[in-house]
Amino acid sequence: MTGKSEAEYTAVLQHIHQLVPLFNPTVVMTDFEVGLQNAWKTVFPNAQVVGCYWHFCRAVLKKARELGLVPFMNQHRRLKSLIRSACALALLPKNVMARGLNTLIQEATRRGYIQLLNGFFLYMINTWMTDPLFSTMSVYDQPHRTNNVSESCNRMLRSKTGAHRPGLWHFITALRRLEQTSARTLLAARRFGFQVARARKVSAVNNDIRIRNYTALLLAGEISINRFLHLASTRVMNVFDQFIV
């Protein structure tokens, strides 16, 4: 696409729906581009549109860096934990996310960090606790929290085209070449009895289990929202380290 307006996204999705009328997704995961999310809601009104958790964490941590908080995070372990816990807000059910943020603000006040974190919390309130982003922020109870698989496919296709925005015929040729390569790989793997799908990393599976357990404890009333955020935030260390360390 040469443009990324809501109208252009809507036109593309409508055309896809016309070509494949039985395509009716129940859940759609995107980044937090409002025009794209609105287009999905317009063309597929019955689909639940969910924001990618990785993109949420990236935006939050990028803001923390822009506000100059990284040196303070390196000096104050509890302050660092507060910011990391903000990344866990999207793991909460939507109806308690605002309460979750409020517990972090109260904790920051109690620990004497509120002046340092005032700009950060204002960003969280104004950007994430209001629509349009609030309505798609929670990944609670979602089988997938990120759209990393589709991002990986996009990178692979881009590598085959050798261009960021290739021409139509160049794109179709690259798509055919990728399809042929994938077909040969799948056939060879099946012929020799290899596993076709790549197994998930043990750490990723373990993170899922831990987050489910923390969620169960929260819903059962055995831990507080604040405790959940701190526990769950330890499960997103890999994302956190990408942008802060």
Average per-residue pLDDT for the chain: 86
Spatial CA neighbour of 72 closest among 125, 124, 120: 120
Percent residues over pLDDT 90 in the chain: 66
The answer to whether position 11 is within a domain reads yes
Closest CA to 31 of 10, 56, 3: 56
pTM of the model: 0.80
Flag whether 218 is in a domain: no
Read off the pLDDT band of 188 (50, 70, 90): low
Does residue 126 belong to any structural domain of this protein?
Answer: no
Angle at 197 between CA 195 and CA 243, to 5 degrees: 130
In a domain, 232, yes or no: no
- Condensed to tens digits (0 to 9), the pLDDT of residues 2-23 reads 678 999 999 999 999 999 999 9
Specify the number of domains making up the chain: 1
Is 32 part of any domain? yes
Domain-located, residue 39: yes
pLDDT tens-digit readout, 196-242:
555 556 667 788 899 999 999 999 999 999 999 999 999 887 777 77
Residues 6+ apart with CB under 8 A from 81: 230, 233
Residue 25 is assigned to a structural domain of this protein: yes
Instruction: With respect to residue 153, please indicate whether it lies within any of the assigned structural domains.
Output: no
What is the extent of the structural domain holding 23? 6-51
